[in-house]
Structure 1
Amino acid sequence: MPKDVPVDPRGPRFSAWITSAVLAAVLLTGSWRLLAAQAVLFGLCAFISLKLNPWGHLYRYAVQPRVKPTAEREEPAPLRFAQGVGFVFALVGTIGYATGLTALGVVATSAALAAALLNAAVGLCLGCEVFLLLRRRVPSLARPQ
């Protein structure tokens, strides 16, 4: 399993824009297959490595060389947790759309879209904030010393 290293925070925001577009397309089309693909991507990033995100690669190789460098970095654990939350919402939405429970699909997808847009537009990662709150309450989530 690849080790995650601290990341440029602009990469996840870039990824959030693309994720927002994907989730908006799901809402417009009702495509459970597209949402399932997004769920797989969330799952890969959450449970294996953030390095498996193709939008991160696109940012790293096409965008990052063209923007001003930054020394700012984010630890990967909150980002991976946020991807796990996205995975749950996308999975629930996929199940909803695929089984004819369209309202469930719309609600779950809309929640994921709202979170992705918040991250993309203003840099507020809801899943990351939940992780940080949980870390204060659950000792096993604390950073290794």
Structure 2
Amino acid sequence: MQLDVRGPRFAAAVTTLVLVLVLITGSGWLALAQAVVFAIGAASARYAPYGWLYRVAVAPRLGPIREREAAGPVRFAQGVGFAFAAIATLGFLSGVTVVGIVATAFALGAAFLNAAFGFCLGCETYLLAKRLTTRPAN
């Protein structure tokens, strides 16, 4: 499956806003909601909530798709985001706020890099791991 590169960037912008709200409010429940969004995106790019919002509300107002990217790296990045959001949720809801703050800050940093600069840290990690684990053909 190929994705319009603007979709994951839009999703990263929404995620950035949500994670800023998590840091401002210290809400473990909001962190949990973002973790669920990440989990859905990791399972399927087609059903990712922010991706759906992009396809329905934003993409029709933009010009034609000029660039696409593979869904695999994006799904991996969503899985990494899920791990950080899940840790943040556990930290906030169990009263270990510093864990929630640090995990949220890491996820926020990655989301902001993608939203602002189009640099997907999780995607790049996926591609690096793929290069390191793939054996060259003889």
Q: Does 1:93 align with 2:88?
A: yes
Give the TM-score, by structure 1 length. Answer: 0.90
Query: Match for 2:124 among 120, 123, 129?
Result: 129
Query: Match for 1:66 among 61, 78, 91?
Result: 61
Distance 1:91 1:55 in 2: 18
- Give the secondary structure class of the aligned counterpart of 1:7: strand
Q: Does 1:10 align with 2:21?
A: no
Query: Match for 2:41 among 45, 52, 56?
Result: 45
Distance 1:57 1:92 in 2: 25
Distance 2:16 2:93 in 1: 20
Task: Judging by fraction of residues, say which structure has more strand.
Answer: 2
Q: Deviations over 1:85-136 (max 9, x none)?
A: 0001001111111111101100000110010011000100000000000001
- Give the secondary structure class of the aligned counterpart of 1:74: strand
Unaligned runs of 5+ in 2: none
Q: Deviations over 1:36-71 (max 9, x none)?
A: 11111111111x201122211121121111111123
- Letter of the aligned partner of 1:96 in structure 2? G
Aligned length: 136
- Letter of the aligned partner of 1:35 in structure 2? A
Distance 2:7 2:72 in 1: 15
- Letter of the aligned partner of 2:41 in structure 1? C
- Letter of the aligned partner of 2:77 in structure 1? A
Unaligned runs of 5+ in 1: none
